[in-house]
Structure 1
């Protein structure tokens, strides 16, 4: 038997089949176009994503390895915060705004005035922030009109396959409107924002069977009619599950469009109020806490597009850091707002230390090192709040580059073990297997093997200790400058 994991990411969709032990049998992917129709806007076409997934599933099901090992269930890993306005027939009425889309700012300010930041975080487990989808519901359609319903991307795609409208607990939390303690939509938050609860799907635990593949979907994809559809999870939770995360033992640092450290605990952490740290339940005895930088991979792509715009794969050259020693440079990677700890959507990126002798290779290394410095900053903040450090497994695209992983380990002063590059897809497939009883819950999923082990180089330990200290001072130092830039834009 095999299981399909469908990873619905910000920049692309990936579908892969895995056996019950988490070994990949076949995979296909397609990029997603991110549209920026105006300043502060960033959207994707949910129907285009769905069409891509249907095609990719068909290709996977027709792969000889999957024909020999047929699909028994499928589940999802989903980009956070994006929501789709739909009509009564479930058809999308417009594009889905992404987390970096800024149209929720006024709604977030309204909620802060009504309930206060800490009370919202106490209810939802998430810091009050305009990226959360509840703040964009009244901005989805022209004139503030409300759709018949709003769906997360996986809810929208799963509905085409035959699932009933459903949202798992992790994605419910990422709307910013779910009361994680009470286990229901928050009347206080929805009431303050005048958003009807009827627009939102029913919250269910991850791994719940939410439907079965219809005859029409089977005809279009080659899946067996009646194949179980299993509720998925937020992509960072999926990466945690697929990357071998275990509460109190192993954390997963995922290098994707965003860099994110996901740490598991057996219960809700109690000292996160007033911070930018987000936490939510995944299942029984597992909560995960998230912290990272919104523009981790985006920042590298941005820099690569400036200096290597004609190259298909800049990682093969620009980010091969083998022969580049640590530079006396620092990058603040806040190209889409600050990291989790400062939680400032107005923060901006910065490159400091430039001289006439600075090279492109040095700047490339500084961009990579930035995620290591941010990781060290996050780990220190978690430790201060009673969340002990654990081994860190590295997953995602950035983990596949040994020289870049080494630079990050040096910058963080922390051992990083690279595992599967595609942890989110693997996690979704294993969740599908758990949903139909192949594994005894999410705490029993098989961990992936370690592919590369990066330990901090003793030669540079003092250097990086100094750099980490300086990095920690940059955000408060540059806040006045960032506020000035924001004021200039508002004048313009």
Structure 2
């Protein structure tokens, strides 16, 4: 039986997974990665990516017959970039996805490329996006350097020659996802030398085959097809099995991230939703909120969250009158509205104990999730398909049921929705039977309509949520 290798090259670790056609994990391994942070700087050593990737794949493949391996694909963090020489050796550390030292370059990037960014629906680049960081790196670079995204660097090591980048990782470097090419006029205006950036291809395109040297280091058989991957967020979406138009993956961990599938490109006047390109040419719109379960770690340090969830279940009948916390991790919100000055708050009385504090956060996160879907519907996105919940929050049965109740529709849980699985799916050319459903949770009659509208009204009153978005949320809630 055939086996595919998925590799998730993240921030804190690299994970390799060998998966068969029925979704069974035949081998998996994780290796840690080290970051260097200093104020706005966040760097990693690209050579460490390769060393730990090779160690992870060797372990993951220890009991997998080499003759069964059919392909490998790698995902990586979005917006991470470095410079290499012509042979692919790193000339700089990697500037990671949240490195913000390129603030001075952003205005120039948006002035030169604003017409392209507008057409692509996201309107403006941010300081942590890859193109401003590329300009920052090029200021002191010698002639003839090459730019590489995180997975470009390791893909080149795998095949032993230059490779194209995928459109997903190229988005934050300014790729024209409609024309599927680089906007040469913008890059010329910004002074990016021709040949600095790799070619662009869709995710799922064959880049080459594992070379003999890489095979010796990684344990992946020489000649194994290397498939163009994607960003970690899109990889998680593939792992969740949300590939049909109108289906959505809602990832609730430290923060909340929604990613879905649409036939046409969405245009968001607020610029809080932007779209990747899917392997089949459809679009993958999404947005990342600054709210999420990270507030639980901050506000309930050391508490047993499983015990709190069990205790919360006994108070389910009190949800309609419970306090509601807007669970903002720090200052500022990104989605479903843009509010740099937003701060967390609690509606109603102060929570009486830790169980109420816990429930207040869970309610607020569920209401933000519902508001995200209301805003996507306002933009014209189809939101009537399957909703798959993934992320650490799905460990709480109470929270899963609460989210189904607030959304007023069934939600699906998968057995495995890791980004590494998504890359195995991509390497295989499609999910086949690799995506397995663990449960479908039906909504109950929890009576959370009025608390949700109070929450929406408070966001509007504070001037963060635009009136048209608030009005649309009310309209959908009453229909």
TM-score (norm: length of structure 1): 0.82
Q: 1:465 — aligned with what?
A: 452
Q: Assess, with a 3 A threshold, how the Cα gap between structure 1 residues 354 and 374 changes in structure 2: closer, same or farther.
A: closer
The C-alpha deviation readout for 1:418-477, integer Å capped at 9, x for no partner, is 11443422111011111xxxxxxx4x6446232133344423423542354246437635
Q: 1:172 — aligned with what?
A: 170
- Residue 427 of structure 2 corresponds to residue 432 of structure 1: yes
Deviation at 1:377, TM superposition (A): 1.7
- Residue 373 of structure 2 corresponds to residue 379 of structure 1: yes
Q: Assess, with a 3 A threshold, how the Cα gap between structure 1 residues 454 and 472 changes in structure 2: closer, same or farther.
A: farther
The 5-angstrom pairing of residues 99-138 of structure 1 reads 99-116=97-114, 119-130=115-126, 131-138=128-135
Point out where structure 1 has 5 or more consecutive residues left out of the alignment: 435-441, 480-492
The C-alpha deviation readout for 1:167-223, integer Å capped at 9, x for no partner, is 111211232x11122221112432343323422111012111112212222122222
For 2:323 and 2:465, locate their aligned partners in 1 and report how far apart those are by CA, in whole Å. Answer: 18
Q: Assess, with a 3 A threshold, how the Cα gap between structure 1 residues 331 and 53 changes in structure 2: closer, same or farther.
A: same
Q: Assess, with a 3 A threshold, how the Cα gap between structure 1 residues 85 and 363 changes in structure 2: closer, same or farther.
A: farther
Q: 1:37 — aligned with what?
A: 38
Deviation at 1:134, TM superposition (A): 0.4
Q: 1:231 — aligned with what?
A: 228
The 5-angstrom pairing of residues 38-187 of structure 1 reads 38=39, 40-62=40-62, 64=63, 66-67=64-65, 70-116=68-114, 119-130=115-126, 131-140=128-137, 148-162=145-159, 164-175=162-173, 177-187=174-184
Q: Assess, with a 3 A threshold, how the Cα gap between structure 1 residues 252 and 352 changes in structure 2: closer, same or farther.
A: same
For 2:134 and 2:240, locate their aligned partners in 1 and report how far apart those are by CA, in whole Å. Answer: 33
Deviation at 1:68, TM superposition (A): 8.0
Deviation at 1:328, TM superposition (A): 0.6
The C-alpha deviation readout for 1:108-148, integer Å capped at 9, x for no partner, is 222334454xx233344434131321011133478577881
Kept after mapping to 2: 8 A contact 1:396/1:421 = no
Partner residue of 2:271 out of 272, 275, 295: 275
Kept after mapping to 2: 8 A contact 1:6/1:14 = yes
Kept after mapping to 1: 8 A contact 2:175/2:183 = yes
Partner residue of 1:218 out of 205, 215, 218: 215
Q: 2:435 — aligned with what?
A: 448
For 1:41 and 1:474, locate their aligned partners in 2 and report how far apart those are by CA, in whole Å. Answer: 36
Kept after mapping to 1: 8 A contact 2:166/2:202 = yes
- Residue 399 of structure 2 corresponds to residue 404 of structure 1: yes
For 1:471 and 1:429, locate their aligned partners in 2 and report how far apart those are by CA, in whole Å. Answer: 44
For 2:465 and 2:380, locate their aligned partners in 1 and report how far apart those are by CA, in whole Å. Answer: 29
Please state whether the residue corresponding to 1:283 is helix, strand or coil: coil
For 1:336 and 1:355, locate their aligned partners in 2 and report how far apart those are by CA, in whole Å. Answer: 23
For 1:107 and 1:139, locate their aligned partners in 2 and report how far apart those are by CA, in whole Å. Answer: 7
Deviation at 1:417, TM superposition (A): 1.2
The C-alpha deviation readout for 1:80-121, integer Å capped at 9, x for no partner, is 1111222343233333333333223332222334454xx233
Deviation at 1:402, TM superposition (A): 2.1
For 1:318 and 1:93, locate their aligned partners in 2 and report how far apart those are by CA, in whole Å. Answer: 49
CA-based RMSD of the aligned residues comes to 3.2
Please state whether the residue corresponding to 1:387 is helix, strand or coil: coil
Deviation at 1:41, TM superposition (A): 3.1
**421-430 vs 324-333, which deviates more?**
324-333
Please state whether the residue corresponding to 1:206 is helix, strand or coil: coil
Q: 1:15 — aligned with what?
A: 16
For 1:179 and 1:140, locate their aligned partners in 2 and report how far apart those are by CA, in whole Å. Answer: 22
The 5-angstrom pairing of residues 276-315 of structure 1 reads 276-294=272-290, 296=292, 299-300=294-295, 303-304=296-297, 307-308=300-301
Q: 1:350 — aligned with what?
A: 344
Q: 1:252 — aligned with what?
A: 249
Q: Assess, with a 3 A threshold, how the Cα gap between structure 1 residues 367 and 27 changes in structure 2: closer, same or farther.
A: farther
- Residue 401 of structure 2 corresponds to residue 418 of structure 1: no
Deviation at 1:407, TM superposition (A): 3.3
- Residue 357 of structure 2 corresponds to residue 363 of structure 1: yes
Q: Assess, with a 3 A threshold, how the Cα gap between structure 1 residues 281 and 90 changes in structure 2: closer, same or farther.
A: same
For 1:113 and 1:202, locate their aligned partners in 2 and report how far apart those are by CA, in whole Å. Answer: 24
Please state whether the residue corresponding to 1:42 is helix, strand or coil: strand
Deviation at 1:352, TM superposition (A): 2.7
Deviation at 1:282, TM superposition (A): 1.5
Kept after mapping to 2: 8 A contact 1:169/1:203 = yes
Kept after mapping to 2: 8 A contact 1:141/1:147 = no
Kept after mapping to 2: 8 A contact 1:82/1:97 = yes
For 1:305 and 1:242, locate their aligned partners in 2 and report how far apart those are by CA, in whole Å. Answer: 29
Kept after mapping to 1: 8 A contact 2:248/2:261 = yes
Please state whether the residue corresponding to 2:394 is helix, strand or coil: helix
Deviation at 1:69, TM superposition (A): 7.3
For 1:357 and 1:105, locate their aligned partners in 2 and report how far apart those are by CA, in whole Å. Answer: 40
For 2:83 and 2:371, locate their aligned partners in 1 and report how far apart those are by CA, in whole Å. Answer: 37
